[in-house]
Amino acid sequence: MPVRQLHWYASVVNATKGTSQFFSIKVFLTEVSGNAYFPKAQDVTWSSYNFKTLLTWGPKPTNYSYTVEFSGVGKDRHRNPHCIRSKETECDLTRMLTDLKETYIADVLSEPELGKTSDLVEQPHTSSGRFCPYKDTVIGRPDFKIEVNKEKGKITLYIEDPLSAVYQGDTLLNMRDIFKDDLKYRVTYRKAGSTGKKLQTTDTNQIELDVDRGESYCFNVQAYIPSRSAGKQLGEMSRPQCSPKENKSIFEEYGLGVIAGAILAIAVIVTVAIALIVVCCRRGRKVTEKTGKEGLPLSTV
């Protein structure tokens, strides 16, 4: 029964019996309280990393629950069976978003707890923004290997495509499987010890760079999708890796700590040796003096 009908009923009974009046007013207040128990979800947000896609929101429910509905824009709505009348504030939609180039929207409905009912015709709900996995997921950091060609003064990087959370049958797809020719890699590199950086882009999973022979270079690699909007073209930066350097100086080879320790050890050994020599010399002198005195003839009186 809608709230305004209950209120009208309470007003009519008000002119009859007191007990009925009390009962009707109680029903009216319960209905109002019931509405208050279903606050709308807040901060409904898409988050996606390597195509593992979550919908999150708040607050944590008490005596109510949440149901998630989603759809492609202008298409039929669907529900994830694990996100119906749930007490969670997160819904994993990775396996449900089968068309990675589709643009999706979602609604989080506030509903009674499982097994309970509500007289509300429409449950309070909050809509998400639009989300397209292909355009919006964050691409994680790639791994790569370094190969140095000393004779030609070249370094080749071999880049490994990050894995996605998308399955094809029983196989996990990688980024190249999904993006195909859209996927490129941007390489940032510099000579070790220098602050100047250079950029190179490759369409494939390897890149050959001209470098100074014998010098060490440090590299970072990240996925690059030019077809995306400006703020989402680059993936996460890889961990830096540096090539080895030939003809290292003693300081580069062993480090200041090791060299300082060696110098200290040598100084201690030299000091101990000098101290032993001094002690031995003194003892030898005393023995010589004593022997010399004992060898002299007795003087006559």
User: Tokens 């510099």 label which residue?
Assistant: 190
Cα(164)–Cα(179) distance, integer angstroms: 11
From first to last of the 301 residues of the chain, give the pLDDT tens digit.
344 333 333 333 343 344 433 333 333 333 333 444 589 999 999 999 999 999 999 999 998 999 999 999 999 999 999 999 999 999 999 999 999 999 999 999 999 988 887 777 788 999 999 999 999 999 999 999 999 998 888 999 999 999 999 999 999 999 999 999 999 999 999 998 888 899 999 999 999 999 998 899 999 999 999 999 999 999 999 999 999 987 555 555 556 777 777 788 888 888 888 888 877 787 767 666 666 555 555 445 4
Tell me whether the CATH fold assigned to 38-136 matches the one assigned to 143-242: yes
To 10 degrees, the CA torsion angle through 103, 104, 105, 108? -160
Sequence-distant (≥ 6) Cβ neighbours of residue 53 within 8 angstroms: 46, 47, 92, 93, 94, 97, 131, 133, 137, 165
- Which CATH entry fits the domain spanning 38-136: 3.40.33.10, 3.40.50.300, 2.60.40.10, 3.30.1360.30? 2.60.40.10
Sequence-distant (≥ 6) Cβ neighbours of residue 289 within 8 angstroms: none
Hey, where are the domains in the chain? 1-36, 38-136, 143-242
| Overall CATH class of domain 143-242 | mainly beta
